[in-house]
Amino acid sequence: MRKSSLGLLMMILMALTRTGSAGESSGINWQRDDQAAFVQAREEQRFVLLYLEAVWCHWCHVMDHKTYGDPRVQALIGQHYVPLRIDQDLRPDLANRYRDWGWPATIVFDAEGREIVKRQGFVAPENFARLLQAIVDDPSPEASARLQASNEPVDAASSLPADLRETLAKRHQQSFDPIHGGLKTAQKYLDRDQADYALAHRTDPVEAQMAETSLTGASWLLDPVWGGVYQYSTGGDWNHPHFEKLTRIQAEYLRVYSQACAQLKRPADCRTADGILRYLRTFMRSDDGAFFTSQDADVVRGEHAEDYFSLGDAKRREQGIPIVDQHRYAAENGLVIEALALRAEWLGDADALADARKAAEWVITERAIPGGGFRHDEKDQGGPFLADTLAMGRAFVALYRATGERVWLKRAMAGGDFLIDHFRAPAGYYSAQPGRSPISPAVQLDEVLATGRFLNLLGHYSGQASHTNGARHALSWLAQREVALSRLTDAGILLLDEELNKPPLHVVVVGSKTDPIAADLFRTLQSIDEPYKRIEWWDRAEGELIHHDVQYPKLKRAAAFVCTDKTCSLPLTDPDAVRNYLTEDSGITTLMQVSPASAFANSEISSN
């Protein structure tokens, strides 16, 4: 992009001026504070009408103009309701609780916080007016068939029941769309867990085909002009995109396509990852290195932008640039940092690592709270939220893997402790601490799954049983059949089960961090295309590793070691030796069947 950052800012400001920066209907005095809304509802004996919007959402703009701009709707709200309007990106707890109902999502409560009705998406004004009057006439809560999290304690699980594991494996393959890729759903998007599972099992021809077909299909969501991926496509194919660009989705796709680039060696996957990274740097990165939240689907709010996105760069700019939400949330930044750091690990991208460091330092400075956790925004309502500390914890593990610098692992460990101390529920993990909002937080499947996988890997790096036990606690909730089978598929549960029951590939460099040979060995270990690995760099000048579970020999030169839970290789002293060792037909199963100590004792190059 040839325009200066100042020019881009001016275009965004022009778009804000043309479309209206508030984006709200007149005639409704919206509350923004959920605590204050329920206090008012109790004092005035009103219902609370929660309008959970997304600032990037086309149908939210339409509902705001048509429905909330309707005089009948406004009159009913004015007489009987406290209108509460919240941006779901600002409140991860509410976004997780009501994600199946939006966006926009409409939830009506009585003054005590009991749900009466929930409605999904745009509701026409005449239907909405009838709904509001019907609630006044009969405020009995509607029954809901949606999954509700149990608050009953469950025993920690080390593995899935065999029959449930088999059912989930079948659903994983049966839910795959063999023609278009992705899931067999009307909305097409790259399902992160389906892709992760397929890539992890890519030696299976069926899984390899699933990965390649899905990655090829989802690449059609890449904006060919500016880069970045659209949120999803409708119509059961990849040709009808919804044009909003969410930073969390950019991060997920950047991670998956960078991993696929390293593992599958397909140039198309590498190009898709490059296009996403180009968009993030051009449109979504602030001058201080943090990342913004989203870009709107519409140039003019409420008007479809399909014609606009079919244009080239110059023609688009003539009409303006869709508004960028310049909030900088810890959760979205953590996901981008993780993707950048893992890209640096897998592909040797030094610029991506520099971007990750800069963003991480900003989040630490601007969003950290005592005890190892993170705020969502500059100031939070209802926080702290699980999503922010979880995303930053994952980012810190990725930075440790990319650099070998212990400061990142120590931060990840503090984040893991904070998660367990503040968000652990009797079953699973809450999206927020109970009691911080009159709307109780959810235990949400994606968050519990991500928490389990994070804590399990962290436990291998930290050596702390509390982290591993925290992962088992997550699986204990996910292993309930009504939870595990509540969606079309969830291959991520299979991944958590597998990872809890096998150690990661453990690779270590022993040598000074000023030694170029040690640096070459570390880079070689990083390029191993196994995502589930424990990679470390032990410089004796820094003292023992945080989890020093193997006694490595003192050597005259830097060396790499490949270990399982019982054995380690002999010292590997150059990159070719590492590559040859790992590419032998029998792989790491050829490790000497003796203890690490006796293996080192027999080494001819061990020395004091």
Distance CA 538, CA 411 (A): 18
pLDDT greater than 90 at residue 124 = yes
Question: 544 and 427, same structural domain?
Answer: no
Nearest Cα residue to 539 out of 517, 521, 558, 553:
558
Task: Please name every residue paired with 291 in a beta bridge, in sequence order, or none if there are none.
Answer: 285
Select from 137, 154, 184 the last residue of a domain.
137
Select from 500, 524, 559 the last residue of a domain.
500
Question: 384 and 486, same structural domain?
Answer: yes
Chain centroid to CA 276: 15
Nearest Cα residue to 400 out of 337, 463, 451:
337
Does residue 299 form part of some domain?
no
Question: 436 and 354, same structural domain?
Answer: yes
Question: 569 and 479, same structural domain?
Answer: no
Question: 169 and 128, same structural domain?
Answer: no
pLDDT greater than 80 at residue 467 = yes
Question: 128 and 25, same structural domain?
Answer: yes
Q: What is the CATH number of the domain that holds 241?
A: 1.50.10.10
Q: What is the CATH number of the domain that holds 40?
A: 3.40.30.10
154 falls in which pLDDT band (50, 70, 90)?
low
Is residue 53 helix, strand or coil?
A: strand
User: How many Cβ atoms from other residues are within 10 Å of residue 342's Cβ?
Assistant: 28
What global pTM score does this model have?
0.90
Question: 332 and 221, same structural domain?
Answer: yes
For 356, counting Cβ atoms within 10 Å of its Cβ (0-12 exposed, 13-18 middle, 19+ buried), the class is buried
Residues 7-25 have pLDDT tens digits of 444 344 434 433 333 445 5
In terms of DSSP bridges, do strands 559-563 and 505-510 run parallel, antiparallel, or are they unpaired? Answer: antiparallel
Bond prior to 238 in cis (omega within 30° of 0):
no
Q: Which two tokens stand for residue 420?
A: 């367990």
Question: 70 and 174, same structural domain?
Answer: no
pLDDT greater than 90 at residue 135 = yes
Question: 178 and 108, same structural domain?
Answer: no
Amino acid in the structure at residue 245: K
Q: What is the CATH number of the domain that holds 516?
A: 3.40.30
Tokens 């292993």 correspond to 479
Distance CA 337, CA 394 (A): 9
pLDDT greater than 90 at residue 493 = yes
Question: 243 and 389, same structural domain?
Answer: yes
Question: 429 and 377, same structural domain?
Answer: yes
Domain count, the chain: 3
Residues 366-417 have pLDDT tens digits of 999 999 999 999 999 999 999 999 999 999 999 999 999 999 999 999 999 9
In this structure, of 204-213, 228-237, 565-574, the range with the lowest mean pLDDT score is 565-574
CA distances 469 to 245, 345, 393, 428, 474, Å, are: 37, 28, 17, 12, 9
Question: 509 and 496, same structural domain?
Answer: no
400 contacts 414 by C-beta, under 8 angstroms: no
Does residue 298 form part of some domain?
no
Q: Which domain holds residue 418?
A: 162-293+328-500
Nearest Cα residue to 411 out of 385, 433, 383, 389:
389
Select from 137, 153, 178 the last residue of a domain.
137
Is residue 158 helix, strand or coil?
A: coil
Distance CA 214, CA 223 (A): 17
Residues 86-99 have pLDDT tens digits of 999 999 999 999 98
In terms of DSSP bridges, do strands 294-295 and 245-246 run parallel, antiparallel, or are they unpaired? Answer: antiparallel
